[in-house]
Chain A
Amino acid sequence: SQQGEEDPQALSIQEGENATMNCSYKTSINNLQWYRQNSGRGLVHLILIRSNEREKHSGRLRVTLDTSKKSSSLLITASRAADTASYFCATAISRHNDYKLSFGAGTTVTVRA
């Protein structure tokens, strides 16, 4: 079963605007990862944030993690048409001396030129 829930399900913005999407989860995690998926393609890893980290940046991406609220957010600043894709959060949960990723349902982002 999926652990993460993402909000909103879909987001449409104008090029240059910021896009924010949220992810909530239910159980303790090792880390939380964000991925991007272009239509019909595989997933591209964006950022991994560990459970003891609160914020992480990578280029135009900013991820926050609040373990007390069991939530994370992904902010894309100054969006571009090429940012149009589905974005998934995935929580890494310990299992049998390993961990597995549980994916949320994803947020579909459309950036209008």
Chain B
Amino acid sequence: GAVVSQHPSRVICKSGTSVKIECRSLDFQATTMFWYRQFPKQSLMLMATSNEGSKATYEQGVEKDKFLINHASLTLSTLTVTSAHPEDSSFYICSARQDRGGSNQPQHFGDGTRLSIL
């Protein structure tokens, strides 16, 4: 159980394009979803936390107008990279957590999206 599906797995597009990435929890309701960014051979950096039905909480230094997050249901969150530029090229990973049962719940991760902006 606890499967998180992330789509698409890879995107290559021109500078100025907006890109939407979907994150779905397939077999559980995800009260909270997270979006991370990972540079090659580095750790994961949290970009934002989203709760179903409310605005996302962005980490310091992350532009909320650049990275639009929508958590419309308990099984779906989307990240839209608006007007993407080459410096936005990265590996984006979502994760989801079912908060029922207390705070000691693991996060379950999608397989990531490799975004390449030309």
The chain A residues found within 8 Å of chain B, CB to CB, are 2, 30-31, 33, 35, 40-45, 48, 50, 88, 92, 94, 98-106
Cα–Cα, bound, A31→B46 (Å): 18
Q: What 0/1 pattern do residues 104 to 117 of B give for CB contact below 8 A with A?
A: 10111111101000
Can you list 18 A-B pairs, Cβ within 8 angstroms, ordered by A? A2-B43, A31-B104, A40-B112, A42-B4, A42-B93, A42-B95, A42-B109, A43-B95, A43-B109, A44-B109, A48-B106, A98-B103, A99-B103, A101-B34, A101-B107, A104-B43, A105-B42, A105-B43
Most buried by B among A31, A44, A98, A102: A98
Query: Does any Cβ of A come within 8 Å of B25's Cβ?
Result: no
- B107 touching A106 by the CB < 8 A rule? no
Task: Tell me, in angstroms, the Cα distance from A7 to B87 when the chains sit together.
Answer: 30
How many chain B residues touch A (Cβ–Cβ < 8 Å)? 23
Name which residue of chain B comes closest to A104, CB basis.
B43
- Closest Cβ–Cβ distance, residue B60 to chain A (whole Å): 10
Q: Is the CB of B93 within 8 A of A103?
A: no
**Chain A neighbourhood of B110, CB < 8 A:** 42
Looking at the complex, which one of B6, B49, B103, B106 makes contact with A42 (CB distance below 8 Å)? B6
Neighbouring A residues of B34 by C-beta, 8 Å: 100-101
CB proximity to A under 8 Å, residues B57-101 = 91, 93, 95
- Check if B44 is an interface residue, CB within 8 A of chain A: yes
Question: Is there contact, CB below 8 Å, between A33 and B106?
Answer: yes
- CB pair B106–A88 under 8 Å, yes or no, is no
Q: Is A30 a contact partner of B104 (Cβ separation < 8 A)?
A: yes
Instruction: Determine if B46 and A101 form an interchain contact, defined as CB atoms under 8 angstroms apart.
Output: yes
Kindly list chain B residues whose C-beta atoms are within 8 Å of the C-beta of A50.
104
Asked, given contacts A30-B103, A98-B32, A99-B103, whether A45 binds B44 with beta carbons under 8 Å apart, the answer is no
CB-CB under 8 A from A98, the residues of chain B are 32, 49, 103
